[in-house]
């Protein structure tokens, strides 16, 4: 088992509801999460819940040289690992909770985000936190912005459809557990 997988498992057992899955996402799910992002026309990306950074590293590879990536992670161990290993002046690691997106956009003098990409385990969050995060994500996006979220069930479908104008859902069986990807437009 890779070091990342071992670390992920350890963090899962210490905080199941925060981590939400026992292993990092697969490369198939990574591809699905990123396939609707037009990296040439994206200046600000916000990632919520990077874990060991499977999406983060791929986003950094694909994003342009003048794009900024804000990455929110509450878990101490995941945050420290990412912050100590990824050194890129386009990327800010934020050791804080996802509902504070707007505070950090202001802190870094950024207006709105083009993309919010989230791996947060919404289904196991208290409803108040879930709503705060989704509403703050929506407010943080520009008019053409997209909120991209994966989940292991369709439980969040109604909530996302209520909040966003358009919600497209795709699915990959090539992940453990198999996952739905929601791509939401304002």
User: Interface with ligand SAM by CB under 6 A: which residues?
Assistant: 18-21, 24-25, 48-51, 54-55, 72-75, 78, 97-98, 119-121
Cβ 38 to ligand SAM shortest distance, Å: 21
Burial of 61 (0-12, 13-18, 19+ CB in 10 A): exposed
d(CA 161, CA 178): 21
Q: DSSP strand E in the chain: where? A: 44-48, 68-72, 91-94, 113-118, 141-151, 166-172, 179-185
Cβ 8 to ligand SAM shortest distance, Å: 7
99 or 114: CB nearest ligand SAM: 99
106 or 166: CB nearest ligand SAM: 106
Cβ 26 to ligand SAM shortest distance, Å: 9
33 or 44: CB nearest ligand SAM: 33
CA 60, 148, 119, 130 dihedral sign is positive
45 or 48: CB nearest ligand SAM: 48
Residue with tokens 């100590």: 84
């Amino acid at each position: 088992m890779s070091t990342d997988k071992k670390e992920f498992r350890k963090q899962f057992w210490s905080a199941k509801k925060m981590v939400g899955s026992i292993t990092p996402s697969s490369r198939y799910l990574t591809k699905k999460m990123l396939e609707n992002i037009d990296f040439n026309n994206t200046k600000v990306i916000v990632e919520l819940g990077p874990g060991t950074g499977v999406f983060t590293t791929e986003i950094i590879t694909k994003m342009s040289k003048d794009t900024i990536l804000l990455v929110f992670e509450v878990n101490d161990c995941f945050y420290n690992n990412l912050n100590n290993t990824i050194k890129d002046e386009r990327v800010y690691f934020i050791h804080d909770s996802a509902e504070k997106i707007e505070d950090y956009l202001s802190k870094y003098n950024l207006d709105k985000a083009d993309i919010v990409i989230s791996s947060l385990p919404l289904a196991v969050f208290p409803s108040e936190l879930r709503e705060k995060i989704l509403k703050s994500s929506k407010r943080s996006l520009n008019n053409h912005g997209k909120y991209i979220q994966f989940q292991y069930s369709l439980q969040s479908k109604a909530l996302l459809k209520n909040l966003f104008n358009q919600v497209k859902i795709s699915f990959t069986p090539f992940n453990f557990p198999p996952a739905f990807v929601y791509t939401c437009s304002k």
